[in-house]
């Protein structure tokens, strides 16, 4: 089993000395490998120009990349601002919900204390005993049809039908 440190053409990729490593021995490269090395070094001027042209960037491309970079940065900054605003509003909503729950619990506590302080039996005693009130009889009850508005306003006296 040999481990060779050769490039794709078989030449040692670390040094171009004409030697190559095969296993644990160093050998001299055959003559054909040396010819390939020479051919690789002899690159035409047209090829060099094409390579340099391919490696360079035109002004239009640089402007385009700059514009895209600025647009990407703008979108990132906008995203971070929106995310911050959403987080701030979420915290504000949570705070308002906490305040609402506190107000509801306070309101429920006040309502319960109010209902506990009212004695309906005492109100009935006062109304019937001291004020002379009593429940209406059948002749005193007048029925009417509401138009579904939920409440009735009386603008005139109720007619007496007998």
pLDDT, tens digit (0-9, with 9 covering 90-100), for 129-156: 999 998 888 888 877 776 666 776 777 8
Residue 23's domain spans which residues?
A: 1-56
Q: Give the pLDDT band of residue 74 (cuts 50, 70, 90).
A: very high
pLDDT of residue 33: 59
Is residue 77 one of the residues assigned to a domain? no
Is residue 37 one of the residues assigned to a domain? yes
Q: Is the pLDDT of residue 113 over 60?
A: yes
Which of 35-39, 48-52, 96-100 has maximum average pLDDT?
96-100
The full length of the chain comes to 162
Is residue 79 one of the residues assigned to a domain? no
Distance CA 23, CA 33 (A): 19
Number of domains in the chain: 1
Is residue 94 one of the residues assigned to a domain? no
pLDDT of residue 27: 60
Quick check: 20 and 4 in contact, CB under 8 A? yes
Is residue 143 one of the residues assigned to a domain? no
pTM of the model: 0.42
Question: Burial code of 101-134, b = ≥16 C-beta within 10 A, e = fewer?
Answer: eeeeeeeeeeeeeeeeeeeeeeeeeeeeeeeeee
Is residue 20 one of the residues assigned to a domain? yes
Q: Is the pLDDT of residue 98 over 80?
A: yes
**Residue-wise pLDDT tens digits, 7-45:** 444 444 445 555 555 666 656 556 555 566 666 666 678
CA atoms within 13 A on the CB side of 5: 14
Quick check: 20 and 26 in contact, CB under 8 A? yes
Is residue 40 one of the residues assigned to a domain? yes
Is residue 101 one of the residues assigned to a domain? no
C-alpha distances out from residue 37 to 5, 29, 45, 70, Å: 16, 11, 18, 46
DSSP 63: H
pLDDT of residue 2: 46
Least confident interval from 41-45, 105-109, 115-119: 41-45
């Amino acid at each position: 089993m040999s481990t060779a440190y050769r490039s794709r053409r078989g030449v040692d990729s670390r040094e171009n000395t004409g030697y190559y490593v095969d296993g644990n021995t160093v050998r001299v490269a055959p003559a054909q490998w040396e010819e390939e090395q020479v051919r690789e070094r002899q690159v035409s001027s047209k090829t060099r120009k094409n390579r340099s042209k391919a490696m360079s960037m035109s002004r239009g491309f640089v402007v385009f990349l700059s514009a895209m970079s600025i647009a990407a940065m703008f979108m990132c900054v906008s995203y971070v601002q929106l995310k911050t605003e959403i987080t701030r509003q979420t915290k504000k909503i949570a705070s308002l919900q906490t305040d609402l729950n506190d107000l509801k619990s306070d309101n429920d506590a006040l309502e319960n204390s109010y209902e506990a302080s009212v004695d309906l039996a005492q109100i009935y005693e006062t109304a019937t005993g001291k004020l002379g009130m009593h429940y209406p009889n059948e002749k005193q009850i007048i029925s009417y049809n509401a138009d579904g508005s939920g409440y009735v306003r009386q603008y005139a006296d109720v007619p007496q039908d007998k």
